Amino acid sequence: MRVYFKNFLTSVSYLLLVRSYSIGLVLFLLTFINISSGVLGLVAYFSAIFLARYIGISRQNLLDGFYIYNSVLVGMGMGFLFEVSVLSVLFTLVASFFTVLLSFGLNALFVSHFRLPILNVPFTLVIIAIYLASSRYGNLLVAKNIPHNLLNINELPLWISGFLKATGILIFLPYDIVGLVILIAMLIFSRINFFLMAAGYYSGTLFLMLLKGSAYYAFTDVYSFNFILIALALGGLFLIPSVKSYIIALFGVLTSVFVLDAVNVFWSSYGIPVFTIPFILVTLPVLYVMVMSNSHLVTATFTETPETNLEHYLNYSSRFNLLLPQPHLPFSGEWKVYQGFDDEWTHKGNWAYGMDFVIENRTDGKTFRNDGFNLDDYYCFNKPVLSPVSGHVVDVCDEYKDNPVGTVDRQNNWGNHVIIESQWKYYVELSHFAEKSIVVKPGDRVSFGQIIGRCGNSGYSPQPHIHMQVQFLPQIGAPTVPFRFNNAVSECVYIGGSRTPKRNEFVKPVTFSRGFERKLQFLIDDVMQFDYRKDSITLKTVTYKVKMAPDSTLYIDDEEEGGRLYFSSIDGIFSFYRFDGNVRSTLRLFLLALPRIPITEEPITWADTLSSLFIIEGGSAYTFPKSFNHRLFAATGSYSLDEEKIVKGTISMQRLFGIRKIYTRLILSEYKGFESVLVSMNGHCYELNQKRSDA
């Protein structure tokens, strides 16, 4: 029952397009100003849950998404229209059940065909049907009006009172005090949402005032709450908060002004209120265009607030750079970049994003032994070429002869080549293989690191080398796109995913260590205990447990403090890639000291970026200004692994005045996990030391 009630509060919070127990509780308590709305909202929720489970809808589906939210909204709407009675309860029960069916059906349609959310379309359809049908039902008791003088503030200017009433009507209570309470709660919960509510309402209402020529009619329009919903949806929920999302939300609001009046003129002739039709008609087309254009601003993972959505987006885009393909290097050992992106010879125009690699003797700076007249003189000739991705082979050419040194085949530029479609749906082309050396054929499945052929000198190639490029089409010679290497090391510095190596730079893959991987191999139900110290004073013993989320991701759980630290070990990198819950959890020390690490025994250095949420107390307050400039308050960490398996880090965070420094040290356990973690920040020293068992 506790789970269902928490889900009910979450469903109520969706009325403001947020996901929060606390906001849901505030809204739920406010609905009891009109007791009918509160009671029938509860009736709608639990009847929808019971009946949906009865017909076979899974519990997990009911506890996720917007399915039940629309039923709750219908119940509260029924309470706005009717008094609580046996008949209204029965009517609500039936209407909420029908809303659940519509929600599941429309969700399947919207997601599969348009990749769109259903918003409150089911609520709008059902409440319009109820409104039309109820005119014929004489036995339903019409809800009594609440005295305005109890909940309105007479001294307020019209432009403030209008905003408060528009906010209150989102929960069917168009009163000043209700709107004020909601806005205060939202200001505490999310500065971005508060800003969007105000900006959405006033931009829409001022535009409406200009069109109508009357401030009174503009600020007393009962449907102006649509401006608030559109701003919340486009500015901070379904799009990542940014200057671009704010501008899109602004134009969405302005568009809804004339859409609202157009719908109202048509709808009022049938005696039907507009409800949220303008919100739906504007929001869904905008989202459809953004989704179909594959905009990186479309929210991929929904968290509690726009602030955490933004931090989650910045975490992934800056740390893992998911916007660019990241294949592996196509060789083992150390090679030199012979020609890089947009270089001076052949990497131009549509083919600017290519990489050429050779092997060079660092002593004499030559790529060959002897005089270099023969192909066999070149260090890279006949060396294995490895698949840089996992996927399947789509094209192979293996028939051209290797050119004598200093000559090129101008008719067959790419020479012997292999094109592989990666599991991430981009294509990698590797060219200039040695004649008859390719060991894969079209249709073969390959894994990254698998030998697919040998380096040669076919095609437009004056000396043996490996050419590699990434493209979005499977044809030979297709236009190239930028990419970065997943596992590249240059001069003991890990550059995987962070930058592309340049001409004359020596690079090699990370030397993967199975033994090192086992140190960081945490299994479900593993338990870890640490003594937590602050400024050399032991405060408590903390216990963490490894658990699995419903989507099969693994995380370390701090049940006492309410923190979850998600981790993965993929492609030779161990990462703490996401943190949920209370940022005061001691788990954040691990995130600061070891956001990620290459799984290698070699001494190595690397860089990473971190969220200000985990560095500053009350860091969420810094996220609002970051929404206008994603580079504000950026924190960059420099880390190094030494031969003693100690990871040392320095984090530099840009602030309005100066730079804040944080120093970290993490010692890996001899067998598994972490021996100790130390973080020095904000004038304090925080430590976690592994607790030894008496045995």
**Residue-wise pLDDT tens digits, 519-567:** 999 999 999 999 999 999 999 999 999 999 988 899 999 999 989 999 9
Angle of CA points 209, 212, 215, to nearest 5°: 40
Q: What is the DSSP code (8-state) at residue 112? A: I
Highest mean pLDDT among 6-10, 63-67, 431-435, 584-588: 431-435
Query: What pLDDT, in 10s, does the model give residues 504-524?
Result: 999 999 988 888 889 999 999
Grade residue 582 by pLDDT with cuts at 50, 70 and 90. confident
Side chain identity at 74, as an amino acid letter? V
Q: What is the CATH number of domain 1-144?
A: 1.10.3430.10
Query: What pLDDT, in 10s, does the model give residues 262-319?
Result: 988 887 777 788 889 999 999 999 999 999 988 889 998 888 889 888 988 887 777 7
**Chain mean position to CA 417:** 36
Q: What is the DSSP code (8-state) at residue 407? A: -
Share of the chain above pLDDT 70, in %: 96
Q: What is the mean pLDDT of residues 619-638?
A: 83
The answer to whether residue 571 scores a pLDDT higher than 80 is no
Instruction: Decide if 195 contacts 624 (C-beta within 8 A).
Output: yes
593 Cβ partners below 8 Å, 6+ apart?
A: 647, 649, 664, 665, 666, 677, 678, 679
- Each domain of the chain, given as residue ranges in start order, spans 1-144, 153-299, 326-483, 515-690
Grade residue 196 by pLDDT with cuts at 50, 70 and 90. very high
Instruction: Decide if 336 contacts 360 (C-beta within 8 A).
Output: yes
The answer to whether residue 64 scores a pLDDT higher than 60 is no
Where do the DSSP E strands lie in 398-515? Answer: 417-422, 427-431, 445-446, 451-454, 466-471, 488-490, 493-494, 506-509
487 Cβ partners below 8 Å, 6+ apart?
A: 328, 329, 496, 509, 510, 571, 572, 573, 598
- Give the C-alpha separation, 1 to 474, whole Å: 54
Which of the two residues, 94 and 135, has the higher pLDDT score?
94
Closest to 355 measured CA to CA, from 486, 170, 242, 485: 485
Instruction: Decide if 610 contacts 499 (C-beta within 8 A).
Output: no
Query: What pLDDT, in 10s, does the model give residues 143-168?
Result: 777 766 788 998 899 999 999 999 99
CA distances from 316 to 210, 323, 579, 599, 656 (A): 43, 9, 12, 20, 24
Closest to 506 measured CA to CA, from 493, 524, 519, 517: 493
The answer to whether residue 683 scores a pLDDT higher than 60 is yes
Instruction: Decide if 443 contacts 325 (C-beta within 8 A).
Output: no
Grade residue 234 by pLDDT with cuts at 50, 70 and 90. very high
pLDDT at 270: 73
pLDDT at 603: 92
Provide the 10 A C-beta neighbour count for residue 271.
9
Which token pair is 522?
Answer: 């945490």
What is the assigned CATH class of domain 326-483? mainly beta
Instruction: Decide if 340 contacts 500 (C-beta within 8 A).
Output: yes
Across 51-55, 60-64, 364-368, least confident range: 60-64
pLDDT at 539: 93
Matching CATH topology for 153-299 and 326-483? no
Pick the CATH number of 153-299 from 1.10.3430.10, 3.30.200.210, 3.40.50.300, 3.90.420.10: 1.10.3430.10
Grade residue 695 by pLDDT with cuts at 50, 70 and 90. very low
